[in-house]
Structure 1
């Protein structure tokens, strides 16, 4: 899996589990085993950009967040 797709998948799962406010860039970086420079290479606008992409990613895959990025789904319940 390419780095950008990995970041999107992991960030989306974290946002679903903890909500937008509950997830920081450092948590995404640690979960992806990624440097800050690599993250910002793929997402120059940072958390705002990855949040929008994550929301759209789940909307297009049929696993929408019910209109909010603060869903309470677990990683196991996301299909």
Structure 2
């Protein structure tokens, strides 16, 4: 018989702590399509794909760098 493995999921708090970023950073990455969490009510549920994307694309906000084109960053215009 095959075992059914449940896919690992992460909360926004778990990913923020793991990558040393703010919840706003993860929400921004969701806005631009880098992350695609599922929703359960008002909660975001991130999957292994989202975690790997963060690992391969370290959040620039952790280094104090805002993404290019961000309207809140006057130097990006």
Report TM bin, short chain.
0.3 to 0.5
Q: TM-score scaled by structure 1? A: 0.33
Which one has a larger percent helix, Structure 1 or Structure 2?
Answer: 1
TM-score by length of 2: 0.34
Structure number with higher relative contact order (C-alpha < 8 Å, ≥ 6 residues apart): 1
Which protein has the larger Cα radius of gyration, Structure 1 or Structure 2? 2
